[in-house]
């Protein structure tokens, strides 16, 4: 993968830069030795690795601002980092960049149940927000499968989603306010604890900006009342296409389950092996459908969904009867990426979105591509949102196999655009899809986006290798 040319002046002044950072931060907040930099070389897209120039670990907003002022003055590139779980290489370092790790800024600052919001630092984990409010029967809705590790600053920067975003929306729909430190070290306060904001929709602009416009130091999120109850059901089908058609029928009927997830045969077997959730091993494709509400609401919705599924001749249908059964169903789904790692240690996790009516067509064409490339694929995804995650299995010890996997992945994403969808669903562009952006956007559109980046970051110091094709 091509990276922007490193700045020779910055590389030559490495020791001086590390010394300068130590002068503005506590000694233990600056990492410069080769061994200690190792854990920061990669993120969830492990196919790419690059050691940074240094890593800093600020503990408060003033320290973030001091680092930004220093880097801006010395023309040093900056890569913000949360937990490093990005699957698109969003947190991949550059040789001449300082990685700003946000994990020490991990405090919950305020919880307001009356007005239903929480103010948190960016290094609070996604699950940490729900854990902080669940005793009062509240929760934070977006639930990426990486929620035990990934941090809210990373979630905002990638506009992350999750299984339950079908009903509640993604991060953007659950955000109220932000504090952002610019590359000049200025603090911007955007939105607040209230609905909407005067003027341009800055919140929308910063959400999903992949660490390219500033560093988030505070996030205000909506918290919601927990539902009265929830129940999951499983429906197994004898082909991916039929299961895809059933998803479209459920969504177009107007029913909104809280989650509607899809697994194909390789995924069903991998997940059942470790979760023992009772997934139907004879099925080619499985839908996990969850509804929530009062007992009556759940019963009514499940009845309507079962009627729709029945029209697609499922080979099995089962509604979970206990909280333990539901938990096992979700344990399998949420651990799916790890489970596929047991079949193939190396895989690329793609992420694209399509209209749900295209599911049967796109799943069929992915199957054909898998045959053409001679690489296996497992499909596990947020079907109700049309958000695909084909996992392309390859052998990392064989460069040809890796290149084939990359080409296969690019073909899938181009297909998503071709059928009226989008290059990303929830994992962002990062380095992974950077060179495909011109498939989705015209030169004029990309120029406008570059103009916005330049307005925030005139020297292009903030995470510059991501999102835009290298010129």
Using rule CB under 6 A, residue 182 touches ligand FAD: no
Rounded to the nearest whole angstrom, what is the least distance from the CB of residue 154 to ligand FAD in the complex? Answer: 2
Using rule CB under 6 A, residue 333 touches ligand FAD: no
Rounded to the nearest whole angstrom, what is the least distance from the CB of residue 416 to ligand FAD in the complex? Answer: 16
Rounded to the nearest whole angstrom, what is the least distance from the CB of residue 130 to ligand FAD in the complex? Answer: 15
Q: Among 31, 54, 91, 246, indicate the residue that binds ligand FAD (CB under 6 A).
A: 91
Can you tell me the distance from the alpha carbon of 119 to that of 191, in angstroms, rounded to the nearest whole number? Answer: 12
Using rule CB under 6 A, residue 326 touches ligand FAD: no
Rounded to the nearest whole angstrom, what is the least distance from the CB of residue 316 to ligand FAD in the complex? Answer: 25
Using rule CB under 6 A, residue 151 touches ligand FAD: yes
Q: Among 155, 240, 344, 440, indicate the residue that binds ligand FAD (CB under 6 A).
A: 155
The residue range among 149-157, 234-242, 259-267, 318-326 that interacts with ligand FAD, by the rule CB under 6 A, is: 149-157
Using rule CB under 6 A, residue 427 touches ligand FAD: yes
Stretch 432-471 residues interacting with ligand FAD (CB under 6 A): 463
- For ligand FAD, the closer of residues 280 and 409 by Cβ is 409
Contact map string, positions 295 to 314, toward ligand FAD, x by CB under 6 A: --------------------
Rounded to the nearest whole angstrom, what is the least distance from the CB of residue 128 to ligand FAD in the complex? Answer: 11
- For ligand FAD, the closer of residues 81 and 222 by Cβ is 81
Number of chain residues interacting with ligand FAD (CB under 6 A): 36
Using rule CB under 6 A, residue 146 touches ligand FAD: yes
Using rule CB under 6 A, residue 250 touches ligand FAD: no
Rounded to the nearest whole angstrom, what is the least distance from the CB of residue 374 to ligand FAD in the complex? Answer: 26
Contact map string, positions 15 to 54, toward ligand FAD, x by CB under 6 A: ----------------------------xx----------
Q: Among 87, 129, 243, 391, indicate the residue that binds ligand FAD (CB under 6 A).
A: 87
Footprint on this chain of ligand FAD (rule: CB under 6 A): 43-44, 79-87, 90-91, 102, 122, 144-146, 150-151, 153-155, 157-158, 160-162, 210-211, 215-216, 337, 426-427, 463
């Amino acid at each position: 993968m091509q990276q922007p040319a490193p700045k020779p002046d910055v590389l030559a002044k490495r020791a001086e830069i590390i010394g300068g950072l130590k002068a503005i931060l506590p000694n233990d907040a600056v990492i410069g030795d080769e061994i200690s930099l190792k854990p920061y070389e990669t993120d969830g897209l492990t196919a790419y690795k690059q050691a940074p120039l240094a890593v800093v670990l600020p503990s408060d907003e003033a320290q973030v601002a001091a680092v930004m002022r220093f880097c801006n003055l010395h023309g040093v590139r900056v890569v913000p980092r949360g937990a490093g779980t990005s699957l698109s290489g969003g947190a991949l370092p550059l040789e001449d960049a300082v990685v700003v790790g946000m994990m020490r800024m991990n405090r919950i600052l305020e919880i307001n149940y009356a007005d239903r919001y929480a103010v948190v630092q960016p290094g609070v984990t996604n699950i940490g927000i729900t854990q902080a409010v669940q005793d009062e029967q509240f929760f934070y809705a977006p639930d990426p499968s990486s929620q035990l590790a990934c941090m809210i600053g990373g979630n905002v920067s990638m506009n992350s989603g999750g299984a339950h975003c079908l009903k509640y929306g993604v991060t953007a729909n659950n955000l109220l306010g932000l504090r952002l430190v610019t590359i000049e070290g200025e603090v911007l306060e955007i939105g607040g604890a209230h609905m909407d904001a005067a003027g341009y929709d800055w919140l929308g602009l910063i959400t999903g900006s992949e660490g390219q416009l500033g560093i988030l130091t505070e996030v205000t999120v909506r918290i919601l009342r927990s539902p009265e109850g929830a129940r999951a059901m499983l429906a197994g089908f004898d082909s991916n296409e039929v299961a895809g058609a059933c998803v479209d029928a459920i969504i177009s009927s107007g029913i909104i389950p809280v989650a509607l997830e899809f697994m194909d045969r390789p995924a069903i077997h991998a997940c059942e092996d470790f979760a023992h959730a009772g997934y139907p091993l004879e099925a080619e494709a499985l839908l996990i459908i969850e509804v929530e509400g009062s007992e009556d609401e759940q019963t009514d919705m499940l009845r309507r969904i079962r009627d729709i599924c029945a029209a697609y001749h499922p080979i099995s249908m089962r509604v979970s009867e206990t909280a333990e059964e539901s938990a096992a169903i979700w344990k399998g789904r949420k651990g799916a990426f790890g489970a596929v790692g047991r079949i193939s240690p190396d895989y690329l996790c793609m992420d694209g979105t399509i209209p749900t009516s295209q599911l049967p067509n796109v799943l069929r064409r992915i199957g054909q591509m898998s045959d053409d490339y001679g690489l296996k694929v497992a499909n596990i995804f947020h079907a109700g949102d049309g958000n695909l995650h084909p996992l392309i299995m390859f052998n990392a010890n064989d460069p040809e196999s890796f290149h084939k996997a990359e080409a296969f992945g690019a073909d899938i994403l181009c297909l998503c655009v071709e059928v009226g969808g989008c290059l990303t669903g929830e994992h962002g562009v990062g380095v992974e899809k950077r060179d495909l952006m011109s498939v989705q956007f015209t030169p004029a559109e990309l120029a406008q986006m570059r103009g916005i980046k330049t307005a925030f970051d005139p020297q292009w110091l903030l995470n510059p290798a991501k999102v835009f094709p290298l010129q």
